[in-house]
Chain A
């Protein structure tokens, strides 16, 4: 709901207005709901603390993606190239949060953000955004998160490898380096299934022409005649870098791509490259061998351990814990574990048996577990 009279550029609270919004007096006058719960009714971006953004432009690079330009409100603290942000939208009344990496330069003018969202067949948020995002739409954001970032000072050589929708964080790194006038060598190995599904194709070609140190090579994994044949392979490295061992390497894409890069690096005795994947690994749960009971202490409910992640077990027990990504990224489902041991389904690691916060969407009980739910 956008008030047509107020343009967001006019209502963003600056200086004095912002201090007033955050003042203790207004807090006391709006107790217990808080200032934001009143001023957001005047304009959805007018908030003392929460981060929200308005969609200012929408374009479709491919049939399976949507690229959004966003203008966040004053509470947005900016991001570093490679980080991700939790984006929340309402789909059929349910607020869903998914992590997306901004693809623009970290020094973009006016703090503008660019998100390229690739759709999954079952992706409720991605399909909703592709089909319904319009200029004027308002989304909730988290502050930027994640350790997948360009180091400062910048390294001499940078190697970027991306597959499919994983191009977004490395695109942010590339654009940031180009905007900074980075003088070193940048190699960019970019995989897509086919030219029609390739993102940022034209821009990559333009950047490669303009920046001497930049070499971009594209591979199409489902097209026979492309610059690179098939999936990532050690031979491909030579096309973009003179010495991959000396390059600060950033890989983002599906787990298979990350695994093959890691294998090459391990064989060469190199330290692990920085990696990021937003595709939940295909997880198998041992639902037959599950033992013990799960107690939800706050609600007094109990259930036999089904071997599934605790978030699903809680939902099966009729609870509705807060959650976001369901893949161990956003921390929305973080819950106090009172007792018991859990296994992290992504790392495979076991927790301690004591009291601690755990992400219940990726934690499977090992024996009896008590959760504060």
Chain B
């Protein structure tokens, strides 16, 4: 069971920020040909896989060709979206001055228009990471992924909605920025801005659909059903993979969520600290990391979203060492373990919170830590009843409170 994170003094948070800034500055100074060669090689592999996959599917009536073609096209879409699209659109290669690698103009092979992704992901998610009510990656507006989200009978369907979201993930991501569920619930109006966004989504979806489900199947003549099935399978494989990796980034056991009050007037050090507490890594081999778009180094990615992702592995040891020195747990594990805990959370949060039972709180290891003593009474009173998960958010982590409230120094070497 993960233990509650330490309380850091403002001075420690400042020092933490400076140490991380120094890592960043060092990598930035070292950026060069190696990084460009890497991403260009990956783009060549992706385009090659795509051409090979689509070519093989023309002979899709032969089972080996169908399997090989579908596999190649799936890999192509995964690489295009994860290691290339996601990372290029973060501006990780803007320093190259190459318009083909420009984060502001890059488009990817998925339903979500790049323009909207840059807003919903790069800005909303990366700035407000794991802030309930601000970071729409917490449940995509349809799932209950935080105990801070009040339970409603609707959430009984949590596992079902998650399965549907995973299956149609590219459309879920596409609708992310429009906040469609808020329009449906009457909470926000379908104004001109939203209409424009919907139109852009429609154009993108039309282009994607035309290519995958009309033109390539028609061009293949007698192989039409095989191409159709192969393309659909490749899109589905990419959807499931992207969902799995992305949900392992911020929801496994031990990742923290925050409220808007907690994060008001954050300093850079506090921002870094929140990014560390809210993200979790995955362990695996080199190929696994590439297919995961190096989001398996989610912690490093959230600290340095605009550094080329293939560098995260290289700096991960250093980041881990810094975290250990400050007593911040490094949340990592193999895919099956991390995803297993995400699935458990999805199922658990489908159910209403257990009523507060005497003795239950005492059994939560996190609350026995001295850190919990710093929890402001107001919060403790309002949250105690609804808390069902261990590793509770404590006031001690409340970053602003750490400045003024009782200070508990972490064990710092």
Stretch from A25-33, A56-64, A102-110, A247-255 contacting the other chain: A25-33
Residues of A within 8 A of B207 (CB): 28, 31-32
Residues of A within 8 A of B36 (CB): 90, 93-94
Per-residue 0/1 for A8-32: is the Cβ within 8 Å of any B Cβ (1 yes, 0 no)?
0000000000000000010011011
Q: Are B216 and A93 in contact (CB under 8 A)?
A: no
Q: Are A96 and B211 in contact (CB under 8 A)?
A: no
Q: Does A38 contact B (CB under 8 A)?
A: yes
Chain A, Cβ-Cβ closest to B98: A95
Number of interface residues of A (CB under 8 A): 21
Per-residue 0/1 for B92-109: is the Cβ within 8 Å of any A Cβ (1 yes, 0 no)?
001111111010000111
Q: Are A320 and B47 in contact (CB under 8 A)?
A: no
Q: Does B64 contact A (CB under 8 A)?
A: no
Residues of A within 8 A of B11 (CB): none
Tell me the chain B residues, 16-31 only, with Cβ under 8 Å from chain A. 31
Residues of A within 8 A of B108 (CB): 32
Residues of B within 8 A of A280 (CB): none
Q: B238 CB to closest chain A CB, in angstroms?
A: 15
Docked pose: A173 CA to B33 CA in angstroms: 38
Residues of A within 8 A of B33 (CB): 90, 92-93
Q: Does A323 contact B (CB under 8 A)?
A: yes
Q: Are A93 and B34 in contact (CB under 8 A)?
A: yes
Q: Does A304 contact B (CB under 8 A)?
A: no
Docked pose: A187 CA to B95 CA in angstroms: 46
Q: Given A32-B207, A33-B107, A33-B109 in contact, is the A92-B216 Cβ separation under 8 Å? A: no
Q: Does B37 contact A (CB under 8 A)?
A: yes
Q: Are B210 and A41 in contact (CB under 8 A)?
A: no
Q: Does A235 contact B (CB under 8 A)?
A: no
Residues of A within 8 A of B37 (CB): 93
Q: A334 CB to closest chain B CB, in angstroms?
A: 13
Residues of B within 8 A of A49 (CB): none
Q: Does A37 contact B (CB under 8 A)?
A: yes
Per-residue 0/1 for A111-151: is the Cβ within 8 Å of any B Cβ (1 yes, 0 no)?
00000000000000000000000000000000000000000
Q: Given A29-B216, A31-B211, A320-B95 in contact, is the A93-B32 Cβ separation under 8 Å? A: yes
Q: Does A288 contact B (CB under 8 A)?
A: no
Q: Are A95 and B107 in contact (CB under 8 A)?
A: no
Q: Does B215 contact A (CB under 8 A)?
A: yes
Residues of A within 8 A of B123 (CB): 300
Per-residue 0/1 for A68-102: is the Cβ within 8 Å of any B Cβ (1 yes, 0 no)?
00000000000000000000001011111100000
Q: Are B96 and A25 in contact (CB under 8 A)?
A: no
Residue among B47, B94, B97 having the largest count of chain A Cβ atoms under 10 Å: B97
Residues of B within 8 A of A25 (CB): 215
Q: Does A243 contact B (CB under 8 A)?
A: no
Residues of A within 8 A of B208 (CB): 31-32
Docked pose: A47 CA to B327 CA in angstroms: 55
Tell me the chain A residues, 229-284 only, with Cβ under 8 Å from chain B. none
Q: Are A94 and B48 in contact (CB under 8 A)?
A: no
Q: Does B236 contact A (CB under 8 A)?
A: no
Tell me the chain A residues, 318-362 only, with Cβ under 8 Å from chain B. 320, 322-324
Docked pose: A96 CA to B95 CA in angstroms: 11
Q: Given A37-B47, A38-B51, A320-B95 in contact, is the A93-B211 Cβ separation under 8 Å? A: no
Docked pose: A323 CA to B95 CA in angstroms: 10
Q: Are B35 and A93 in contact (CB under 8 A)?
A: yes
Q: Are A28 and B210 in contact (CB under 8 A)?
A: yes
Q: Are B102 and A41 in contact (CB under 8 A)?
A: no
Residues of B within 8 A of A92 (CB): 32-33
Q: Are B211 and A41 in contact (CB under 8 A)?
A: no
Docked pose: A155 CA to B222 CA in angstroms: 67
Residues of A within 8 A of B403 (CB): none
Q: Are A41 and B47 in contact (CB under 8 A)?
A: yes
Residues of B within 8 A of A28 (CB): 207, 210-211, 215
Q: Are B97 and A322 in contact (CB under 8 A)?
A: yes
Q: A167 CB to closest chain B CB, in angstroms?
A: 29
Q: A37 CB to closest chain B CB, in angstroms?
A: 7
Q: Are B31 and A320 in contact (CB under 8 A)?
A: no
Docked pose: A328 CA to B204 CA in angstroms: 36
Q: Does B44 contact A (CB under 8 A)?
A: yes
Q: Does B91 contact A (CB under 8 A)?
A: yes
Q: Are A93 and B31 in contact (CB under 8 A)?
A: yes
Q: Given A32-B107, A33-B109 in contact, is the A95-B215 Cβ separation under 8 Å? A: no
Docked pose: A90 CA to B207 CA in angstroms: 33
Docked pose: A38 CA to B31 CA in angstroms: 26
Docked pose: A96 CA to B97 CA in angstroms: 7
Docked pose: A90 CA to B34 CA in angstroms: 12
Q: A320 CB to closest chain B CB, in angstroms?
A: 4
Q: B218 CB to closest chain A CB, in angstroms?
A: 11
Q: A156 CB to closest chain B CB, in angstroms?
A: 45
Among A32, A37, A95, which residue has its beta carbon within 8 angstroms of that of B97? A95
Q: Are B216 and A320 in contact (CB under 8 A)?
A: no
Q: Are A322 and B210 in contact (CB under 8 A)?
A: no
Q: Given A28-B211, A32-B207 in contact, is the A37-B100 Cβ separation under 8 Å? A: yes
Q: B81 CB to closest chain A CB, in angstroms?
A: 12
Q: A90 CB to closest chain B CB, in angstroms?
A: 7
Docked pose: A93 CA to B32 CA in angstroms: 5
Q: Are A322 and B99 in contact (CB under 8 A)?
A: yes
Chain B, Cβ-Cβ closest to A90: B36
Residues of A within 8 A of B107 (CB): 32-33
A-B pairs with beta carbons under 8 Å apart, 15 shown: A28-B207, A31-B207, A31-B210, A31-B211, A32-B107, A32-B109, A32-B204, A33-B107, A38-B51, A41-B44, A92-B33, A93-B31, A93-B96, A94-B96, A94-B97
- The chain B residues found within 8 Å of chain A, CB to CB, are 31-37, 43-44, 47-48, 51, 91, 94-100, 102, 107-109, 123, 204, 207-208, 210-211, 215-216, 219
List the 4 closest A-B pairs by CB distance, nearest first: A93-B36, A32-B107, A93-B33, A95-B97
